[in-house]
């Protein structure tokens, strides 16, 4: 039988009974019952939480009537400020019954990408997968298998990659552009979370949000934004567009896209010129007094002058003795500024070098680059540097997804250091989303015997599409093929020559269509087991329970991994049930988990606060950093030959007027995130789509009129990589020169194409030297638009 997915769903070839309730929600009204029916039905309450990657982490109290999810309410947290739910959570009552659910395992019958499948049994699907993986492992080794995991999948198949010796990737090259620069200063590897907990914002005088639409992308932290505002903080949003967050801020500064680094460099100059920096903080807590050798651009260390030191500390110029001393020697008073000669070699302090490097980045220069007025940059800097504790908070979608993002991150670290705003009550620099910094605890892990080890990721997954590598099979946990790679045509070329592709997902997302075998997974509401998942978030432990039985023929990720392991003859090493697994994880000596176990969690609505102080979490209050010197390191030796030891502004990789391509493609294409969806999730949520029924290309009326476009026209967006079509939405909120389609729309919702057909995938070679490797510069994209 050869039928397409659509035919197969229409015909109801399988799962006919469940189609009745999923397909006809609005048409038949069978779903809703009169209030009088209440009491006649079987009712139960169960608790789960949202695992989608919106940062909200809402916990749900779910009412199940006659086996169906019927009501979602916010669950009560120990700290009640987190008891929230948004439209996305409420919409699950409809979405989990969506006709887009994968209902049975599928086997591809058409070409990859065509979307032609036939239903098969679980046994056939799992046997096919296991046989293929065994064969690949035998022929090429486990490294020929890549598990590629979406964000927000809670159970990330923690055992199979190790059992197979396979590679595992989660979000390779994503959300790391700014962190690459910042964390070279801090020494951490924490995705740029060098913030205090958002609840500490009430102690801030100034909060600068740079490309950070927190009121949409961490909706549930909105109360902390408004509490800070009420407490007197001045909130300034810097965004090319009048975002939701900009509209609620005290000030909106409209920046030219891709120039965040120029703005921050200008601010550094203003601080230096006006001596608004914290001299003592810089000497005590940063590498500013370290000495740079003129001959090789390296920092001067003890072995440079006295060979044989085992500790080999950095040297500074000690004011007391007027001589070189190890920076950490007792009683040293390091000079912040100066040039000296040591054994015939000229050296200068990092601070002096910074001052020299900044000469090129005048206020005037920054104003021209960023297209923000000089007076505005001056006032912004004064607010930041002189009004007391200040936050410089950014997102992952504004300045991050550009080829020059690391320079912005580095400049941000320097701004925080100059003003003493790192490790300070009411301070912080870095990502301000997800309520990402809060108290945490160490869970135990479930150990496999030592012979089972995953293969470390050979290279970033975007590179796998072009550079020689071992991967022959990709197991998609989620919608990674559409979402994780810019330039979809290149992705398609890669996957068409792979030996084997599997997708495991609750929904028929676009990555499904490229797959050879498809497995239907449960959503966060379904399971075969009473206890499902557990995580630590917002200083609490959250447990999820089964709310309803698996819909259609779906299975939980735990069950799928377990059954696949059984087909490989290796399931004896895995926990028998999720309950056994979560029990083992909680069996930890960490005192912050004292008294928290599965029983006490069940007694407490499945949420308990860790045994931690009531205070907001604040990082680095001891001013000890995980860098080689334990100080904030402003000078990055390893980037000296790239002229980035101190930040040097670079134009965007593609979306810059200096690029010859700009003449042909004069518009910058951005694909920000929206409150209505989480990436490609909720694209099919009917209740939400009342508000955003179709993809809309947002643009300023000026850009539209010069192209003869009217609001609502169908347009084609194109560049040399590809094209897509959508209706346009004209809005003054959008900056001329930048156009936007929110990321995530499935291909089938587009008038034609996919937005990833045009996005820029050219990686910046310098960034291979940085902590996280190169960032995918989705927003660093030039396009042109024409009427269809």
Q: Give min distance, CB of 214 to Mo ion, in A.
A: 14
The β-bridge relationship of strands 251-253 and 234-238 is parallel
- Is residue 80 exposed (0-12), middle (13-18) or buried (19+ Cβ within 10 Å)? exposed
Q: Give min distance, CB of 98 to ligand MGD, in A.
A: 10
State the number of binding residues for Mo ion (CB under 5 A): 2
Nearer to Mo ion, 137 or 673 (CB): 673
Residue 460 binds which entry of Mo ion, ligand MGD, none, CB below 5-8 Å type-dependent = none
Nearer to ligand MGD, 241 or 352 (CB): 241
Residue 239 binds which entry of ligand MGD, Mo ion, none, CB below 5-8 Å type-dependent = ligand MGD
Q: Give min distance, CB of 780 to ligand MGD, in A.
A: 9
Nearer to ligand MGD, 281 or 394 (CB): 394
Q: Give min distance, CB of 188 to Mo ion, in A.
A: 19
Nearer to Mo ion, 64 or 179 (CB): 179
Nearer to Mo ion, 396 or 494 (CB): 396
Binding mask 527-556 for Mo ion (x = CB under 5 A): ------------------------------
| CA distances to 292, 298, 642, 748 from 636, in Å | 11, 9, 10, 46
Query: Which residue's CB atom is positioned nearest to Mo ion?
Result: 175
Nearer to Mo ion, 357 or 680 (CB): 680
Q: Give min distance, CB of 312 to ligand MGD, in A.
A: 39
Distance CA 625, CA 622 (A): 9
3-class DSSP string for 145-176: EEEEECCCCCCCCCCHHHHHCCEEEECCCCCC
CA atoms within 13 A on the CB side of 497: 11
DSSP 103: -
Q: Give min distance, CB of 212 to Mo ion, in A.
A: 13
Nearer to ligand MGD, 113 or 338 (CB): 113
- Is residue 488 exposed (0-12), middle (13-18) or buried (19+ Cβ within 10 Å)? buried
Residue 520 binds which entry of ligand MGD, Mo ion, none, CB below 5-8 Å type-dependent = none
Residue 422 binds which entry of Mo ion, ligand MGD, none, CB below 5-8 Å type-dependent = none
Q: Give min distance, CB of 86 to ligand MGD, in A.
A: 8
The β-bridge relationship of strands 145-149 and 167-170 is parallel
DSSP 549: P
Q: Give min distance, CB of 734 to ligand MGD, in A.
A: 9
Nearer to ligand MGD, 75 or 781 (CB): 781
Nearer to ligand MGD, 426 or 436 (CB): 436
Distance CA 79, CA 519 (A): 38
Q: Give min distance, CB of 183 to Mo ion, in A.
A: 17
Chain-centre distance for alpha carbon 738: 22
DSSP 602: H
- Residue among 387, 384, 385, 288 at smallest CA distance from 336: 288
Residue 527 binds which entry of ligand MGD, Mo ion, none, CB below 5-8 Å type-dependent = none
Question: Angle 111-112-117 (CA atoms, 0-180°, nearest 5)?
Answer: 75
Please report where in the chains the tokens 């159970």 appear, as a residue: 155
Residue 255 binds which entry of ligand MGD, Mo ion, none, CB below 5-8 Å type-dependent = ligand MGD
Nearer to ligand MGD, 260 or 516 (CB): 260
CB atoms within 10 A of CB 167: 25
Nearer to Mo ion, 194 or 350 (CB): 194
Binding mask 171-190 for Mo ion (x = CB under 5 A): ----x---------------
Helix/strand number for the chain, H first, E second: 25, 31
Residue 399 binds which entry of Mo ion, ligand MGD, none, CB below 5-8 Å type-dependent = ligand MGD
Specify the 3-state DSSP secondary structure of 301.
Answer: strand
Q: Give min distance, CB of 333 to ligand MGD, in A.
A: 40
Distance CA 772, CA 123 (A): 40
| Residue ranges that bind ligand MGD, judged by CB under 6 A | 53-55, 150-154, 171, 174-175, 210-213, 216-217, 238-241, 243, 255, 257-258, 260, 395-399, 401, 433, 477-480, 483-484, 504-507, 509, 521, 524, 557, 670-675, 677-681, 743-744, 755-756, 759, 778-779
Distance CA 196, CA 209 (A): 14
Q: Give min distance, CB of 435 to ligand MGD, in A.
A: 11
Sequence-ordered list of residues with C-beta below 8 angstroms from that of 331, at least 6 positions apart, any chain: 320
Q: Give min distance, CB of 581 to ligand MGD, in A.
A: 15
* Token reading at 623: 């001013």
Nearer to ligand MGD, 175 or 716 (CB): 175
Residue 754 binds which entry of Mo ion, ligand MGD, none, CB below 5-8 Å type-dependent = none
| CA distances to 276, 398, 546 from 603, in Å | 53, 42, 16
| CA distances to 70, 234, 380 from 251, in Å | 42, 8, 10
Sequence-ordered list of residues with C-beta below 8 angstroms from that of 566, at least 6 positions apart, any chain: none
Residue 416 binds which entry of ligand MGD, Mo ion, none, CB below 5-8 Å type-dependent = none
- Residue among 192, 277, 186, 174 at smallest CA distance from 636: 186
| 92 belongs to the binding site for Mo ion (CB under 5 A) | no
| 780 belongs to the binding site for Mo ion (CB under 5 A) | no
Residue 249 binds which entry of Mo ion, ligand MGD, none, CB below 5-8 Å type-dependent = none
* Token reading at 562: 């377990």
Torsion of CA 207, 210, 215, 220, to 10 degrees: -70
Sequence-ordered list of residues with C-beta below 8 angstroms from that of 280, at least 6 positions apart, any chain: none
Task: Please answer whether residues 461 and 763 qualify as being in contact, where contact means their C-beta atoms are separated by less than 8 angstroms.
Answer: no
Distance CA 7, CA 45 (A): 37
Q: Any alpha helices (H) in 254-397, and if so which ranges?
A: 260-273, 279-285, 302-305, 350-357, 363-370, 374-386
Nearer to Mo ion, 170 or 524 (CB): 170
Specify the 3-state DSSP secondary structure of 734.
Answer: coil
Near Mo ion in 379-398, by CB under 5 A: 396
Residue 153 binds which entry of ligand MGD, Mo ion, none, CB below 5-8 Å type-dependent = ligand MGD
Residue 257 binds which entry of Mo ion, ligand MGD, none, CB below 5-8 Å type-dependent = ligand MGD
The β-bridge relationship of strands 234-238 and 206-210 is parallel
Nearer to Mo ion, 193 or 665 (CB): 193
Nearer to ligand MGD, 247 or 321 (CB): 247
Q: Give min distance, CB of 89 to ligand MGD, in A.
A: 11
Q: Give min distance, CB of 206 to ligand MGD, in A.
A: 17
Residue 759 binds which entry of ligand MGD, Mo ion, none, CB below 5-8 Å type-dependent = ligand MGD
CB atoms within 10 A of CB 417: 27
Query: Which residue's CB atom is positioned nearest to ligand MGD?
Result: 397
Task: Please answer whether residues 427 and 740 qualify as being in contact, where contact means their C-beta atoms are separated by less than 8 angstroms.
Answer: no
- Is residue 147 exposed (0-12), middle (13-18) or buried (19+ Cβ within 10 Å)? buried
Q: Give min distance, CB of 82 to Mo ion, in A.
A: 21
Residue 743 binds which entry of Mo ion, ligand MGD, none, CB below 5-8 Å type-dependent = ligand MGD
User: 557-567 and 122-140 are packed helices; what angle lies between their axes, rounded to 10 degrees?
Assistant: 60
Q: Give min distance, CB of 484 to ligand MGD, in A.
A: 6
| 406 belongs to the binding site for Mo ion (CB under 5 A) | no
Residue 433 binds which entry of ligand MGD, Mo ion, none, CB below 5-8 Å type-dependent = ligand MGD
- List of residues contacting Mo ion (CB under 5 A): 175, 396
């Amino acid at each position: 039988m050869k039928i397409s997915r659509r035919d197969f769903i229409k015909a109801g070839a399988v799962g006919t009974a469940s189609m009745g309730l999923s397909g006809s929600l609005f048409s038949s009204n069978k779903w809703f019952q009169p209030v009088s029916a209440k009491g006649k039905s079987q009712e139960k309450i169960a608790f789960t939480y949202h695992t989608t990657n919106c940062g909200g982490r809402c916990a749900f109290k779910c009412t199940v009537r006659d086996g169906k999810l019927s009501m979602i309410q916010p669950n009560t947290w120990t700290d009640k400020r987190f008891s929230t739910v948004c439209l996305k959570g409420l919409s699950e009552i409809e979405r989990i019954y969506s006709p887009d659910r994968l209902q049975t395992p599928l086997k591809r019958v058409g070409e990859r990408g065509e979307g032609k499948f036939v239903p098969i049994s679980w046994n056939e699907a799992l046997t096919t997968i296991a046989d293929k993986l065994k064969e690949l492992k035998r022929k090429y080794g486990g490294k020929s298998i890549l598990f590629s995991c979406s964000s927000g999948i809670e159970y990330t198949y923690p055992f199979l990659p190790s059992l197979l010796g396979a590679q595992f990737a989660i979000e390779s090259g994503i959300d790391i552009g700014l962190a690459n620069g910042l964390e070279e200063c801090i020494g951490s590897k924490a995705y740029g979370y060098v913030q205090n907990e958002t609840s500490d914002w009430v102690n801030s005088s100034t909060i600068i949000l740079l490309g950070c639409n927190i009121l949409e992308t961490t909706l549930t932290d909105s109360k902390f934004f408004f509490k800070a505002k009420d407490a007197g903080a001045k909130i300034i949003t810097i965004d090319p567009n009048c975002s939701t967050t900009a509209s609620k801020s005290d000030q909106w500064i409209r920046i030219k896209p891709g120039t965040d680094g120029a703005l921050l460099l200008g601010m550094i100059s203003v601080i230096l010129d006006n001596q608004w920096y914290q001299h003592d903080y810089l000497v005590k807590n940063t590498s500013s007094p370290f000495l740079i050798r003129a001959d090789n651009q390296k920092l001067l260390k003890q072995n440079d002058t006295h060979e044989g030191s085992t500790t080999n500390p950095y040297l500074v110029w000690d004011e007391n003795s007027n001589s070189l001393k190890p920076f950490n020697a007792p009683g040293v008073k390091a000079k912040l500024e100066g040039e000296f000669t040591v054994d015939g070699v000229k050296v200068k302090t990092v601070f002096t070098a910074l001052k020299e490097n900044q000469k090129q980045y005048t206020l005037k220069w920054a104003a021209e680059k960023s297209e923000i007025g000089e007076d505005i940059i001056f006032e912004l800097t004064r607010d930041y540097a002189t009004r007391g504790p200040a936050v410089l908070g950014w997102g992952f979608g504004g300045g991050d997804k550009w080829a020059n993002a690391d320079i912005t991150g580095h400049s941000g670290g320097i701004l925080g250091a100059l003003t003493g705003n790192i490790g300070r009550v009411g301070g912080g620099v870095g990502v301000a989303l997800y309520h990402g910094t809060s108290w945490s605890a160490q869970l135990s892990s479930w150990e496999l015997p030592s012979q089972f080890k995953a293969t470390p990721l050979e290279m970033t997954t975007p590179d796998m599409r072009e550079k020689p590598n071992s991967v022959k099979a990709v197991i998609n946990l989620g919608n990674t093929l559409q979402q994780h790679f810019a330039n979809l045509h290149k992705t398609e070329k890669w996957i068409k020559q792979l030996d084997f592709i599997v997708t495991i997902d609750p929904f028929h997302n676009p990555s499904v269509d490229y797959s050879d075998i498809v497995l239907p997974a449960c959503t966060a509401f379904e399971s075969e087991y009473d206890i499902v998942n557990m995580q630590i978030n917002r200083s609490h432990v959250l447990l999820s329970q089964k709310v309803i039985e698996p819909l259609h023929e779906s299975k939980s990720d735990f069950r799928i991994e377990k059954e696949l392991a059984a087909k490989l003859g290796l399931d004896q090493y895995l926990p028998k049930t999720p309950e056994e697994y979560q029990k083992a994880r909680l069996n930890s000596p960490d005192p912050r988990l004292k008294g928290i176990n599965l029983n006490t969690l069940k007694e407490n609505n499945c949420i308990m606060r860790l045994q931690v102080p009531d205070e907001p979490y604040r990082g680095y209050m001891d001013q000890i950093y995980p860098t080689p010197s334990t100080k904030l390191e402003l000078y990055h030796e390893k980037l000296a030959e790239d002229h980035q030891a101190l930040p040097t502004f670079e134009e965007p990789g593609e979306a810059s007027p200096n690029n010859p391509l700009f003449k042909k493609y004069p518009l910058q294409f951005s694909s920000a995130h929206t409150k209505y969806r989480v990436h490609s999730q909720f694209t099919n949520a009917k209740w939400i789509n009342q508000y955003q029924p179709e993809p809309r290309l947002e643009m300023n009326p000026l850009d539209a009129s010069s192209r003869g476009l009217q609001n609502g026209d169908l347009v084609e967006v194109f560049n040399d990589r590809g094209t897509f079509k959508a209706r346009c939405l004209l809005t003054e909120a959008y900056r001329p020169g930048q156009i936007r389609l929110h990321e995530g729309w499935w291909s089938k919702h587009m008038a034609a194409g996919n937005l990833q057909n045009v996005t820029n995938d050219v990686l910046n070679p310098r960034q291979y030297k940085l902590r996280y490797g190169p960032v995918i510069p989705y927003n660093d994209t030039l396009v042109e638009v024409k009427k269809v």
